[in-house]
């Protein structure tokens, strides 16, 4: 089965084609095409993601990215049909808020022969609603023209599947496998918009174990990055500074709190930590590069310690057999290292799954893969698709 994946929930526009084989137990995926346009540089000027700017960029880039993916997957064939008047009217309605996308769609898509794909999977939440709508409208339009079912995907479920994919070859079209899955799976999902511990008891059966009461981890990284005058997104920049300080062997000079470390719940809070950084900075008259490194180091240590301790608590509470890390922040090397250590030392029976680095941040491969699992379960017939900014797993 071939799935076209579409992702537009935040600031990455991504389209992929993934070929999938096998059942729930040992599925194998081949990435046939994968095109991604990151808007990060654009948003960096404003120090954060602007929903309307994100929406505009998605609308501009979806058609070219689709063409790129189809070409890479060798399913780009000229030979389509002119749209009928009825189709044109429906498309005008669908893209009433995306005139630029409509224009490109009307020119480019009729040229294409219907590609050899079986379904279209698209992120319908959580995320920025204006951005989500662009992907959804695009998926619906393609589904209509090509006569393919459209499968709505929860972005966070995509991040979980991202971690489960293990690369098996470095060939031109890498093969990704999911090994025998040991339930229950505990997923620590850490991204720009989310921080949560979710238990997957079986396929698509979720229970919320803990979540942030205020800021998401990625958000805290980005805000502290801004306080240290680092470019957006702050996460990777802070990580670089922290590693430098760690390598020097110096002990971080400015202590920061570990919020909610001792509380009984598996919930998190990062707003206080961020404010503590602000107060610390106020007391430093001249912020040298070395002092920035010390703050980044201590901040990263504080975040990691809280994540590790809460996850440990959740592992004990749930007796999970697999631990999955997912979301953009799981690219952080100190966090990756610390979790490897935790599992090796204290939970040797637990399988730790961390996404390949290129699959940590938002991408459409994970959406296509999630689409395959949803398709195995049975594609929901004609369910109305709408953007759900606050969509939850549980």
- Among the listed ranges 24-32, 180-188, 229-237, 287-295, the one in contact with ligand KG4 (CB under 6 A) is 229-237
Q: From the list 218, 252, 259, 371, which residue makes contact with ligand KG4 (rule: CB under 6 A)?
A: 218
Q: Compute φ and ψ for 8, nearest 5 degrees.
A: -145, 35
Dist. CA 360–CA 91, nearest whole Å: 34
38 has which bridge partners?
A: 12
Would you say 73 or 359 has its CB closer to Zn ion? 359
Nearer to ligand KG4, 140 or 191 (CB): 191
Cβ closest to Zn ion, residue 19 vs residue 362: 362
The β-bridge partners of 19 are: 2, 30
115 lies in the binding site for ligand KG4 (CB under 6 A): no
The Cα 326–Cα 134 span in angstroms is: 24
Q: Choose among ligand KG4, Zn ion, none what residue 326 binds, the Cβ cut-off being 5 to 8 Å by kind.
A: none
Q: Is 118 annotated as a binding-site member?
A: no
245 binds, among Zn ion, ligand KG4, none (CB under 5 to 8 A by kind): none
Instruction: Judge contact between 352 and 339, C-beta under 8 A.
Output: yes
Binding residue (CB under 6 A) for ligand KG4 from 329, 353, 359, 385: 329
Task: Name which of ligand KG4, Zn ion, none residue 280 binds, using a CB cut-off of 5 to 8 Å depending on partner kind.
Answer: none
Contacts 24+ apart (CB under 8 A), 275-278: 277/224, 277/227, 278/227
297 is in an annotated binding site: no
Give CA–CA dist 236/218, Å, rounded: 10
* Token pair in block for residue 67: 């063409």
CB of 57 to ligand KG4, least distance (A): 15
Quote the distance between the C-alpha of residue 329 and its chain's center.
10
Q: Residue 22 has what DSSP assignment? A: S
Where does this chain touch ligand KG4 (CB under 6 A) — which range of 77-85, 102-110, 233-241, 344-352? 233-241
Partner touching 218 among Zn ion, ligand KG4, none, CB below 5 to 8 Å by kind: ligand KG4
The answer to whether the beta carbons of residues 292 and 228 sit under 8 Å apart is: yes
Q: In this chain, which stretch among 70-78, 117-125, 187-195, 246-254 interacts with ligand KG4, using CB under 6 A?
A: 187-195
Residue 142 β-bridge partners: none
Q: How many residues does the chain have?
A: 394
Q: Which residues bind Zn ion (CB under 5 A)?
A: 191, 362
362 binds ligand KG4 (CB under 6 A): yes
């Amino acid at each position: 089965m071939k799935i076209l994946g579409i992702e537009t929930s935040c600031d990455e526009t991504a389209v992929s084609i993934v070929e999938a084989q096998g059942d729930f137990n040992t599925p194998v995926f081949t990435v046939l095409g994968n095109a991604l346009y990151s808007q990060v540089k654009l948003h960096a000027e404003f120090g954060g993601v602007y929903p309307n700017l994100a929406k505009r960029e998605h609308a501009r880039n979806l058609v070219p990215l689709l063409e790129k993916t189809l070409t890479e997957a060798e399913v780009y064939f000229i030979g389509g049909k002119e749209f009928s008047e009825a189709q044109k009217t429906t498309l005008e309605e669908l893209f009433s808020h995306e005139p630029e996308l409509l224009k490109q769609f009307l020119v480019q898509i009729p040229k294409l022969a219907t590609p050899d794909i079986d379904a279209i999977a698209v992120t319908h939440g959580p995320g920025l609603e204006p951005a989500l709508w662009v992907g959804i409208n695009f998926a619906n339009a393609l589904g209509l023209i090509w006569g393919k079912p459209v499968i709505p995907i929860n972005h966070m479920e995509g991040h979980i599947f991202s971690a489960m994919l293990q690369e098996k070859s470095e060939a031109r079209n890498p093969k990704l496998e999911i090994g025998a899955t040991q339930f229950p799976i505990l997923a620590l999902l850490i991204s720009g918009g989310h921080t949560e511990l979710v238990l997957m008891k079986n396929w698509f059966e979720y229970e919320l174990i803990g979540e942030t009461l205020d800021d998401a981890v990625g958000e805290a990284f980005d805000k502290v990055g801004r306080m240290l005058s680092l470019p957006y997104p702050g996460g990777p920049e802070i990580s670089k500074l922290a590693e430098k300080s760690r390598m020097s062997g110096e002990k971080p000079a400015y202590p920061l709190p570990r919020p909610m470390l001792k509380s009984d719940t598996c919930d998190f809070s990062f707003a206080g930590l961020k404010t503590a950084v602000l107060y610390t900075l106020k007391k430093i008259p001249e912020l040298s590069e070395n002092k920035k490194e010390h703050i980044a180091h201590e901040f990263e240590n504080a975040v990691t310690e809280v994540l590790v301790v809460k996850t440990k608590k959740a592992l004990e509470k749930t007796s999970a057999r697999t631990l999955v890390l997912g979301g953009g922040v799981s690219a952080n090397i100190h966090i990756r290292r610390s979790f490897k250590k935790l599992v090796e030392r204290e939970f040797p029976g637990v399988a730790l799954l961390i996404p390949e680095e290129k699959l940590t941040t938002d991408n459409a491969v994970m959406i296509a893969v999630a689409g395959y699992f949803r398709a195995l379960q049975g594609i929901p017939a004609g369910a109305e698709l709408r953007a759900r900014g606050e969509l939850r797993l549980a």
